[in-house]
Amino acid sequence: ICFLKPGGKFMLALEMVEPNTGKFWSTRCQGMKIYTEQELTSFLEKGGFENIRSHRTHRSWCAMEGIKRA
């Protein structure tokens, strides 16, 4: 369920989008899963977002944004 109005912007800031780099943490935190930019883009598309962009701010840090489709 998405509570954004059509045209609303969604942004998600992530500390880790490289599964291999994050292996140290994902093996120590039970249930932790690190998703790639491609997987996150797919989730947002399936969730009704368009104009999806990712912004890399560090080697493994990322911010994802998308606009809710009408």
Could you read off the pLDDT of 12-68 as tens digits, one per residue? 888 877 777 777 777 888 888 888 889 999 999 999 999 999 988 767 788 899 999
DSSP-derived secondary structure letter, 34 = P
Whole-angstrom distance, CA of residue 48 vs CA of residue 19: 25
pLDDT at 2: 62
pTM of full prediction above 0.85:
no
User: Which among 39, 44, 46, 49 has a CA at the least distance from the CA of 7?
Assistant: 49
